[in-house]
A and B are shown apart, each in its own frame.
Chain A
């Protein structure tokens, strides 16, 4: 099984602060995806990173894929209460062909 370890598990910060969430594995992934899940809803895709070293930006969110394609990070600048949610990284399960292996998630709370 290709495990994905996320850290930190929980994060509570004030509005305006910056934060970084990490997703690490000992396995190489062809791509990694980041999802955000809000209470009572399904995960929603934020971004997919494919190339080692790739950096993608989505407004105040910056995603990076490690050079060796084993890890990824999500950096949020000037966090806002609307960023609150569960952030999940996911990589393709090599045994399934299509299904995803998910990390255990980072639960982010941004207070005003």
Chain B
């Protein structure tokens, strides 16, 4: 069974469009995240959710809106896509207590044309 899954794996779209990426974890973790990995492989936190509540938003444009319908899901909606949004987006989860070891999904490669 896949622990953290994301869909789609690849997303190619035009500038100005709105798109969503879905994430699900079956680990029973309380905290979920979205990270962005740029073309230089730098991985940076975007959002952190704990029990469906946003606990951090790291200087991300408000065109990006995370939605957590329940503890196992954290979706990312992006409005008015720009060329600079092209990157690989990773969802991750971790248990709330103890050492914060994170489990990553396989990533969604977003290409904005």
Residues of A near any B CB (own CB < 8 A): 31, 33, 37, 40-45, 48, 50, 86, 88, 92-93, 95-102, 104-105, 107
Contacts and interface: CB of A to CB of B under 8 A. Distances in A.
A50 B50 contact: no
Interface in B40-71: 40-45, 48, 50, 55-56, 58
Interface residue SS majority, chain B: strand
Interface residues of B, number: 27
B48 A104 contact: no
Given A31-B99, A42-B92, A97 B45 contact: no
Contact of A92 (B55, B100, B105): B100
30 contacts: A31-B99, A33-B101, A37-B41, A41-B106, A41-B107, A42-B4, A42-B90, A43-B43, A43-B104, A48-B99, A50-B99, A88-B43, A92-B100, A95-B56, A96-B45, A96-B55, A96-B56, A97-B48, A98-B55, A98-B94, A99-B45, A99-B56, A100-B45, A100-B102, A101-B45, A102-B43, A102-B44, A104-B40, A104-B42, A107-B41
B101 A48 contact: yes
A45 B92 CA distance: 12
Nearest to A33: B101
A87 to B, nearest CB: 11
B22 to A, nearest CB: 15
A40 to B, nearest CB: 7
Given A41-B106, A42-B106, A102-B44, A97 B55 contact: yes
Contacts of B50: 97-98
